[in-house]
Structure 1
Amino acid sequence: MKWITRERVKVDRVACPWLIRKFLDKDAEFYFVPADKVLEEASRLDAIPFDAPGVELGHHGKECSFESMIRKYKLDGDPALGLLARIVNGADTDNTLYNQPEGPGLKAIAEGFRHLEFKDDHEINAAEWIVYDALYAYCREKVKQGKPDGDAK
């Protein structure tokens, strides 16, 4: 399947491709285009748009695109993914929905990746997915410890 979103990835536009490759489509193709071209290019390429204004797999209320994707593809039975979604939300939004303490750390890491001089969004995603692998392992451990909300109070 083909997926498309806005260029200049940061949090949601790295987390969503990670989720897609890990849980939905190991052979997914990703396209990163200017924000005003997402819908046009999605139509032309027959690609599923995400994390762009007005799309199903986008922000809705205080929820981020990662959460929309988990809900649509019925991945919400995995409590570790649920915790990861809270962390992604905390990094990608104003963090007032869950006040997730891990969120600001992920936001800082994502911003740092943007300054490592990768040549494009594909390279940033490839490099940063190890962070999401590690966060998912952290989330599985927190769930195992009986802390499905992580370190949120």
Structure 2
Amino acid sequence: MKWITREKVKVDRVACPWLIKKFVDTNAEFLFVPADKVMEIANEQQAIPYDVPNVELGHHGQECSFEAILKKYKLSDPALILLGKIVNGADTDNTLWNQPEGPGLEAIAEGFRHLGFKDDHEVNAAEWIVYDALYAYCQAMVKKGKPDGAFK
């Protein structure tokens, strides 16, 4: 399946493809296009839009797109739920969960934008290791009985 979002990825638009590829659609193909072209190209390519306004897999209230994907695809793994809170904390004003790991993820994501990758596919390829590591962290926290993370 094809999935589409805005170009110039940062937090949610890297976390969502990671989540989709690992837990929803192992054959996913991602398109990153100008914001004003997302819906037009989504229709042309029969692609699922995410992390854009007014779509099912977008921000709803204070929840981010990563959390919308968790809900839509019934991904109830406590480690993924914690990771969703961290992504939310990095991608929003962090008032929903007050997740202390969020600002660190935001700084890392911003840093990746300054490493000179040629396009959003390269950023995603490089940054997914961060989400692998954060997921491992979240699994360890859940196993230790800290489903809200280590810093609370």
TM bucket by the smaller chain? over 0.9
Matched, 1:132 2:134: no
2:2 alignment partner in structure 1: 2
Q: What CA deviation, in whole Å up to 9, does each residue of 1:75-133 have, x standing for no partner?
A: 0x200000000000000000000100000000000000000000000000000000000
Q: Write the distance in 2 (CA, Å) between the matches of 1:30 and 1:24.
A: 13
2:56 alignment partner in structure 1: 56
Whether the aligned pair in 2 keeps the contact of 1:87 and 1:106 (CA below 8 Å) is yes
2:96 alignment partner in structure 1: 97
Q: Write the distance in 2 (CA, Å) between the matches of 1:3 and 1:80.
A: 24
1:119 alignment partner in structure 2: 118
Whether the aligned pair in 2 keeps the contact of 1:99 and 1:152 (CA below 8 Å) is no
Residue 25 (structure 1) shift = 1.2
For these two proteins, the number of residue pairs brought into alignment is 152
Q: Write the distance in 2 (CA, Å) between the matches of 1:61 and 1:25.
A: 26
Q: Write the distance in 1 (CA, Å) between the matches of 2:98 and 2:26.
A: 32
Long gaps (5+) in structure 1: none
Give the TM-score taking structure 1 as reference length.
0.98
2:87 alignment partner in structure 1: 88
Give the TM-score taking structure 2 as reference length.
0.99
Whether the aligned pair in 2 keeps the contact of 1:80 and 1:148 (CA below 8 Å) is yes
Q: Report the 3-state secondary structure (helix = DSSP H, G, I; strand = E; otherwise coil) of the residue aligned with 1:4.
A: strand
- The CA RMSD measured in Å over matched residues stands at 0.7
Aligned structure 1 segments of 4 or more residues deviating by more than 6 angstroms: none
Residue 152 (structure 1) shift = 5.0
Aligned amino acid, residue 58 of structure 1 = G
Q: Percent same amino acid at aligned positions?
A: 78
